[in-house]
Amino acid sequence: MKRVSKLVVYGLVIVGIAIAIITTNVKPLPSWATANQGQQTQTTRPKRLKITVRVSEPDDLKVSEGEEITEGEIIADRERERNRLAAQQKQLQLSLDKLKVSSITPPDIPQKIPAVMALPPVSYLEHEAAVEKSKSAIAQVESELELKQEEIKYLSTVKNLDPIILEHEQAKLKQLKQKHTGTVRDYQLAMGKMQSAKDSRKYQEYQASLNSVRRVEEMNQARLNYQRQLAEYEQRLTDREFQVTQLQEKLNDVENAIATLSMVKSPYAGTVRRVKWLGQSADGTLTAEVTLMVRSDREAEREQRRNEVPLPKQQ
């Protein structure tokens, strides 16, 4: 009997050692497996739940230690940050819409400068005729003067000639000389008029050449101005497109930032046991850890029934 008892004791010791070895080698389930089990067992509530939140300022944390909260109640809400981003989003959208509807007027194409009529052909026939006429008059008067001078010379040699005749002829000679002076003056006047006409024509041709050069310069200047205005117009279009792209990128960033500012709500009802501030990140946001003591299913049902009890009617 003693031998049998010893064998039983040895057997129990060996079984205990084997169980200890098996227990030691068994690994715990991973977190995702635990989460799946928790999803399968919907009626099971955790007793304690730690919720990590990120806020912009301490006031964004809406719960405090010892506070009773209900399921779905807001734990953290970055309301001020959301309002600031919403205002920025509105301002960016207004600027973007205004920039898109703004019109940029292209420069006007320079008009062609109308052609100028050429100078009419010039003729000096009238002036030349007046000159020739005055020259003929001079020649005729000079011929008459020469004859008259010879006649007077002859009469002066005639003896016993009546002095009245000689005086009369000399008077005619004097008239011829005056006539000659007049014809010479007419010739000079005709020549002066013809020269003035030629000088006037030269001046008109000079002015026409200046106008032609001036028109070419104006056309070149108008072309240069148009090219400069066209380049400025294209640059304004490029600048507006760049500004639209920049505003759209900023608007997308703000919208993405708003999308990340979701409210953190409690998944269960319970009591906030602890609020622990973990620190501040490089972007200035604060990180806090909220420890929630979750109410049991019975407590939740009891509270729900209590809330559903109608108040007594007042007499």
Nearest to 200 by CA among 106, 309, 120, 283: 120
Euclidean distance between CA atoms 78 and 56, whole angstroms: 6
- Cα dihedral angle (169, 174, 175, 177), rounded to 10 degrees? 130
Q: Whole-angstrom Cα distance, residue 56 to residue 285?
A: 5
What's the confidence (pLDDT) of residue 185? 93
Number of other CB atoms surrounding residue 139 within 10 Å: 11
Residues with pLDDT less than 50, the chain: 1-9, 13, 15, 17-42, 314-315
Tokens 């301002």 appear where?
A: 91
Residue whose C-alpha is closest to residue 251's, from 80, 90, 56: 90
Length of the chain in terms of residues written: 315
The residue among 136, 237, 124 whose CA lies nearest residue 184 is 136
* CB-based contacts of 205, cutoff 8 Å, min separation 6: 119
* Distance from C-alpha of 127 to C-alpha of 124, rounded to nearest angstrom: 5
Query: CA-CA distance, 124 to 149, in Å (whole number)?
Result: 37
8-state DSSP, 310? P
Q: What angle do CA 28, 33, 38 make, to 5 degrees?
A: 110
**CA atoms of 91 and 85, how far apart (whole Å):** 10
Q: How far is 189 from 89, CA to CA, in rounded Å?
A: 92
Phi, psi dihedral angles at 95 (to 5 degrees): -65, -40
State the Cα–Cα distance between residues 292 and 167, nearest whole angstrom.
158
Let me know: does 277 contact 290? Beta carbons within 8 Å.
Answer: no
Residue ranges of domains in the chain: 125-232
Return the pLDDT at 301: 62
